[in-house]
Structure 1
Amino acid sequence: MLINADFSQMAVVKPNDYQWIKSPRGEVERVMLDRVGNETARATSLVRYAPQTMFPEHEHPLGEEILVLSGTFTENGHQHYPSGWYLRNPDGSKHTPSSENGTLIFVKLMQMSKDHTETIRINTQASENWKTIGQRLICPLYVSHNEHTYLEKLKPHQNFDEYSLKGIELLVIQGELIMNGETFPAGSWVRLPIQSSQHFYASAAGATLYVKTGHLSSAQNFVEQQS
């Protein structure tokens, strides 16, 4: 299965574009944002758990990254992560995910290398995890030689100053982002290819963004290996 799998092209999915698809056994519903592969896939998705949902224990080759967007996501029956928590499970990690009252999560699968070995848990709702860098308000999540992942809060009409020299991926968590007169409301996902340039700024509502840069070279390599 190939969805938005040409990483040399810009890709956009807005809430009006969502197509919710049930997982094979029906435990969850997914919006597939990009995907290379079938059930074992390099994938970026929104995943919706109904209340009282549980998956059996399973392993994640090349890791799993999760941002909890609403509700509470639970691991292994007792580790509870409400909205705003960022989770990073490295290559070969195992867990039993569930949700008592339902949750919506942003998930990236098989997008780490084997040398990304850290298990990370960050509460992005905690003010101490945010830093002011120049005019920018940033919550750092992960950085390596080929990836930089963070949240950023933009004030009303503030420019988004990251550039796409090595590829960039955005999820609008709150507020609205604008590019060339086009509005990207909360829930919009945008992926820009390597060495592309677009000018984004927040609307009058401001914006909170999930941002990942530097990772798309390895994505294109993955596609070529699957061909």
Structure 2
Amino acid sequence: MNHLKLHSDLTQAVVINTQTLPWLPSPAAGVMRRLLHRDGDEVAVATSLVRYAPDSKFDRHTHDRGEEFFVLEGEFADEYGRYPAGCAVRNPWGSSHAPFTDGGCIIFVKLRQLQAEDQQRRVIDTRAAAWEPGPAAGIELMPLGGFGSEQTSLVKLAPSAGLLCRDHQGCQGGAEIFVISGELQHEQRHCGPGNWLRLPDCHQHQPLSSAQGCTFWLKTGHLPPTSRARP
């Protein structure tokens, strides 16, 4: 893969239904990727969906600027443990592993986007972890990790609940969202499971809401400010 720039301008808002994207081959047999954001060649700052076929693996590699992933389907594994659907993992700078799967899996993964000072490895099984009250009625949060202004959480909206990203440490560092279940309304868009949103200037956006309720992965406080037009 040559040096690729895909949605690499972090000041630009993006909304993508990932289910419409093709699966592209990786260097490992049986491992395919849907590219959402990338700046680099095979070693890149990247946000992707990665699909492992049953009994596939990836060679041992080092995450020189960290990795975080959320297991969407199946069970992902490495020499440190097994991570079924619903597990969130943050591996710090300099960590390494040799991932594999027995039955196949799909993960949402961000590479080379953690802070060097954040040296704590975190593994959270969100199926068993407790929800916390959110900033308004009908909103629950589950912290997944973070450092400084950068924070990652699961968010659960009850039907008809709404969330302003600035209520969850957005505004100065934007928000990034991956919809896991239900349907999230962003302005005039209805975003179902698999939709990925990057909202750098989220203070200019209308509240996120859900008529039927939804659960989404949310990262805030990590994007530069922008005055560009929204998509």
Instruction: Say if 2:220 is the partner of 1:213.
Output: yes
Secondary structure of residue in 1 paired with 2:159:
coil
Corresponding residue of 1:35: 38
Contact 1:129 1:140 in 2 (8 A): no
Contact 2:69 2:89 in 1 (8 A): yes
Deviation at 1:195, TM superposition (A): 5.6
More displaced 10-residue stretch of structure 1: 33-42 or 139-148: 139-148
Corresponding residue of 2:104: 102
Contact 1:123 1:129 in 2 (8 A): no
Query: What does 1:44-59 correspond to in 2, within 5 Å?
Result: 44-59=47-62
Instruction: Say if 2:65 is the partner of 1:62.
Output: yes
> Quick one: which amino acid aligns to residue 219 of structure 2?
K
> Quick one: which amino acid aligns to residue 66 of structure 1?
F
Corresponding residue of 1:225: none
Deviation string 1:169-188 (CA, Å, 9 cap, x unpaired) is: 00000001112221111100
Corresponding residue of 1:224: none
Corresponding residue of 2:17: 14
Aligned-pair identity in percent equals 38
> Quick one: which amino acid aligns to residue 83 of structure 2?
Y
Corresponding residue of 1:111: 113
Query: What does 1:1-227 correspond to in 2, within 5 Å?
Result: 1-76=4-79, 79-126=81-128, 128-134=129-135, 135=137, 136-163=139-166, 164-165=170-171, 166-194=173-201, 196-217=203-224
Work out the CA distance in 1 between the residues paired with 2:126 and 2:205: 27
Work out the CA distance in 2 between the residues paired with 1:3 and 1:118: 29
Contact 2:92 2:114 in 1 (8 A): yes
More displaced 10-residue stretch of structure 1: 92-101 or 161-170: 161-170
Task: Specify every segment of 5 or more residues in structure 1 that has no aligned partner in the other structure, as ranges.
Answer: 219-227
Deviation at 1:16, TM superposition (A): 4.2
Contact 1:7 1:193 in 2 (8 A): yes
Contact 1:138 1:150 in 2 (8 A): yes
Deviation string 1:18-58 (CA, Å, 9 cap, x unpaired) is: 12111034331111110110111000001000100111211
Secondary structure of residue in 2 paired with 1:204:
coil
Higher share of residues assigned strand? 1
Work out the CA distance in 2 between the residues paired with 1:10 and 1:159: 20
Work out the CA distance in 2 between the residues paired with 1:107 and 1:44: 6
Work out the CA distance in 1 between the residues paired with 2:16 and 2:163: 19
Work out the CA distance in 2 between the residues paired with 1:29 and 1:200: 34
Work out the CA distance in 1 between the residues paired with 2:17 and 2:89: 24
Task: Specify every segment of 5 or more residues in structure 2 that has no aligned partner in the other structure, as ranges.
Answer: 226-231
> Quick one: which amino acid aligns to residue 191 of structure 1?
R
Deviation at 1:70, TM superposition (A): 0.8
Secondary structure of residue in 2 paired with 1:31:
strand
Length-normalised TM-score, structure 2? 0.88
Deviation at 1:131, TM superposition (A): 1.0
Distance verdict in 2 for CA 1:144–1:25, change over 3 Å: closer
List structure 1 segments (4+ residues) > 4 angstroms apart after TM superposition: none
Deviation at 1:157, TM superposition (A): 1.7
